Amino acid sequence: MTLSVRACVVNGRQARYRQDGAGEHLLYLHGIGGDFLWLPFHRALAQEFTVTLPVHPGFGESQDDESAAGMEDLVFHYVDLIDALGLGRVHLIGASFGGWIAAELAVRYPDRIRTLALIDAVGLDVPGAPVAELFLSDPKSLATLLFHDPAHPFARLLAEADPADPSQVSETLRHFKVLSTLARVGWNPYLHNPKLSRLLSRITAPTLILWGEEDRLVPLPHAEAYRKAISGARIERIPACGHLPPVERPLETVSRLLAFYSVEKSSRAF
């Protein structure tokens, strides 16, 4: 089942998003592994929530925004999008690059966040556990960096991509554009904000840190660094899973999230 893409205008620019389900609003900020598409992961969450899945500027169908030169611009973009779509207080999930945006948003607008889930998020510098080189990776090595299971359809798609093949030029250009968007924000300092770890104490929402146990891009010590810095946060590891739990282990990831939400809901009741 494909879900149609909708458009809204945020600060004069077209932004694309998908939305489905019913109940409290859940906002999912995607990463770099194709999770801006409506996947089984989102479909399962939409059984319990109204799920909104926006596409970052410069990714997929969203208009590129060269003026979105930094994390601050992206944070404003999403606060404005939350208002434009009338989402109110949201359950916020961010994966990978989206996890970094979610963390930056949550430290600046804690009141807008009901709960926070960070999934294999970049954003921190952890001495001794560097984030692997993303920008120099060809599609083949990217498949290994992102996926634990090389047989996953997305991993195979990557592994079979050949930038030198003239018939794949449009894919190569799209890949270049996505990485360019990422580089605009995270080239140097490399995929992190040196100030973020000190700011994380400002987060007030109940927080779950979910991590693929075999993440080769953003190694596990990053989960621990987020947990330490966010008051009351706890970690759950997804076994046999790489950098993209929503893509590689969707149902397990959803069940961990739902368990987290139900605990939070019952504690709210008392």
DSSP H stretches of helix in the chain: 40-45, 71-84, 97-108, 139-146, 153-160, 169-186, 196-199, 221-229, 245-248, 250-269
Cβ nearer to another protein, comparing 131 with 209: 131
Residue closest to 42 by CA, chosen among 257, 256, 234, 254: 254
Min dist CB 170 to another protein, Å, is 9
Cβ nearer to another protein, comparing 135 with 259: 135
Min dist CB 270 to another protein, Å, is 49
Min dist CB 15 to another protein, Å, is 20
Cα→Cα distances 179→38, 75, 182, Å: 21, 19, 5
Min dist CB 174 to another protein, Å, is 9
Cβ nearer to another protein, comparing 187 with 251: 187
> How many Cβ atoms from other residues are within 10 Å of residue 179's Cβ?
17
Cβ nearer to another protein, comparing 86 with 166: 166
Min dist CB 221 to another protein, Å, is 23
Residue closest to 234 by CA, chosen among 203, 268, 260, 261: 260
Tokens of 20: 């489905």
Cα→Cα distances 71→52, 123, 175, 221, Å: 20, 10, 20, 23
Cβ nearer to another protein, comparing 182 with 223: 182
Q: How many helices (H) and strands (E) does the chain have?
A: 10, 8
d(CA 79, CA 82): 5
Min dist CB 68 to another protein, Å, is 11
Helix (H, G, I), strand (E, B) or coil at 228: helix
Residues near another protein (CB under 8 A) = 66, 69, 135-136, 163-164, 166, 169, 172-173, 176-177, 179-180, 182-184, 187-188
Cβ nearer to another protein, comparing 18 with 175: 175
Cβ nearer to another protein, comparing 11 with 180: 180
Residue closest to 19 by CA, chosen among 48, 41, 42: 42
Q: The sheet that has 113-119: what strands, in order across it?
A: 6-10, 13-21, 50-54, 25-29, 90-95, 113-119, 207-212, 234-238
Min dist CB 188 to another protein, Å, is 4
